């Protein structure tokens, strides 16, 4: 993909592996390349376990032992034109602190990853604000109440002294969203931010993220498995399978004219608001374990179009350009066009 100055984030050939005690090497993310445009929203979708969260954690260097980023670049371009390779930063450097604390913020898939069970909700948000904004304690408290209200926590002022266990699942998730927004980041990484929310709150949170994008030019790396949310939010979509991107294009092409058999199968398994009670189509089999990644195309054991001697040999197919801005990693992409 072309390197342009409008990209806030360029991830190149990222490889993040986990090393087990038995000496196995689990290639959770294996050569992923993508970029996020300034003020753009890139959605990353794909089956559970395909490496979406590991990719997100890698961008913030949050991978812990036995995991390690073994290769690749993570280039962050700040508004003042500086380029930081996050992959190269020292663990304890001020720069990395700055990246995590202000430039990039993350909404975690599991709200309890970001919340401490022993501190009140109010204290935790205020702490995040005090860390990144030059305000005093009482101002921080006001700001905190303001964002809690914005993300739809009812009676926000009265809830500041409550603890996470006194909040419902969706309320916890909204607190985490509030904390991420408090930092006014240039890049927001949102890992399944609305999975725990009902559709009305989901609509509200999606609106907040869009507003943030419009007001501050925030770019968003949006991880989700909800294709309807993708349709409503994303400019571009990257589809992952077994640690690799298998299709990448603008949202309309991916959802309306998917070309990779995996993307097509994903779209088919949507329950759909109109259908009756027949069995849901799902993709045959399950994602192989990372310990036994198939030869050739990693999707071939489950692919209805797999051809032996072609799809099951050699290394994994690489992304090919099949149309302007549309990339697909499938060796049969031209032949199965008409299907």
Ligand X SMILES: Nc1ncnc2c1ncn2[C@@H]1O[C@H](COP(=O)(O)OP(=O)(O)OP(=O)(O)O)[C@@H](O)[C@H]1O
Interface residues toward ligand SF4, by CB under 6 A: 260-261, 297, 299-300, 303, 305-306, 311, 317, 330-332
CA-nearest of 337, 289, 293 to 315 is 293
**Of these partners, ligand SF4, Mg ion, another protein, none, which one is at the site of residue 324 (CB under 5 to 8 Å by kind)?**
none
Among 69, 74, 180, 229, binds another protein (CB under 8 A): 229
CA-nearest of 223, 258, 188, 186 to 53 is 223
Q: Which helix (H) or strand (E) is 112 found in, with range?
A: helix 111-114
Radius of gyration of the chain (CA): 21
Rounded to a whole number, what is the distance in angstroms from the first to the last CA of the chain?
27
- Residue nearer to Mg ion on the CB measure, 72 or 111: 111
Rounded distance, CA 175 to CA 107, Å? 10
Contacts with ligand X by CB under 6 A: the residue count is: 24
**Would you count residue 286 as binding another protein (CB under 8 A)?**
yes
**Would you count residue 53 as binding ligand X (CB under 6 A)?**
yes
**Of these partners, Mg ion, ligand SF4, ligand X, none, which one is at the site of residue 330 (CB under 5 to 8 Å by kind)?**
ligand SF4
All residues at 6 or more sequence positions from 294 whose CB lies less than 8 Å from its CB, including other chains: 288, 300, 301, 312
**Would you count residue 246 as binding another protein (CB under 8 A)?**
no
Which residues on adjacent β-strands are paired with residue 83? 77
- Residue nearer to ligand X on the CB measure, 70 or 135: 70
* Surface-to-core class of residue 109, CB atoms within 10 Å of its CB (0-12 exposed, 13-18 middle, 19+ buried): buried
**Would you count residue 63 as binding another protein (CB under 8 A)?**
no
Among 10, 12, 18, 89, binds ligand X (CB under 6 A): 18
Residues in contact with another protein by CB under 8 A are 18, 45-50, 53, 109-113, 149, 152-155, 158, 161, 166-171, 174, 192, 195-203, 206, 225-232, 251-252, 255-256, 265-267, 269-273, 275, 277, 279-283, 286, 289, 291
């Amino acid at each position: 993909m072309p390197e342009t100055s409008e990209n806030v984030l360029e991830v190149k050939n990222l490889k993040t592996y986990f090393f087990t005690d038995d000496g196995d090497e689990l290639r959770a993310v294996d050569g992923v390349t993508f970029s996020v445009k300034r003020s753009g929203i890139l959605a990353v979708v794909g089956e559970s376990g395909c490496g979406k969260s590991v990719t997100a954690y890698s961008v913030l260097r949050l991978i812990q032992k036995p995991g390690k980023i073994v290769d690749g670049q993570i280039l962050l371009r700040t508004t003042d034109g500086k380029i930081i390779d996050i992959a190269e930063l020292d663990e304890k450097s001020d720069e990395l602190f700055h990246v995590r604390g202000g430039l990039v913020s993350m909404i975690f898939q599991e709200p309890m990853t970001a919340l401490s069970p022993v501190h009140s909700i109010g204290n935790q948000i205020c702490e995040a604000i005090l860390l990144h904004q030059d305000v005093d304690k009482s101002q921080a408290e006001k700001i905190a109440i303001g964002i809690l209200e914005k993300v739809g926590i009812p009676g926000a002022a009265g809830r500041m002294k409550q603890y996470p266990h006194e909040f419902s699942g969706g309320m916890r998730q909204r607190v985490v969203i509030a904390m991420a927004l408090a930092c006014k980041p240039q890049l927001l990484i949102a890992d399944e931010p609305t999975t725990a929310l009902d559709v009305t709150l989901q609509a509200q949170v999606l609106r907040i993220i869009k507003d943030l994008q419009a007001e501050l030019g925030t770019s968003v790396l949006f991880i989700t498995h909800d294709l309807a949310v993708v349709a409503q939010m994303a400019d571009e979509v990257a589809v992952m399978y077994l640690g690799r991107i298998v299709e990448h294009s603008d949202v309309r092409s991916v959802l309306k004219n998917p070309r990779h058999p995996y993307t097509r199968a994903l779209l088919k398994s949507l329950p759909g608001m109109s259908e009756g009670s027949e069995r849901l189509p799902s993709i045959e089999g399950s994602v192989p374990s990372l310990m036994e990644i198939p030869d050739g195309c990693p999707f071939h054991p489950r692919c209805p179009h797999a051809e032996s001697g072609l799809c099951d040999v050699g290394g994994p197919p690489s992304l090919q350009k099949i149309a302007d801005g549309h990339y697909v990693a499938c060796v049969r992409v031209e032949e199965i066009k008409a299907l």
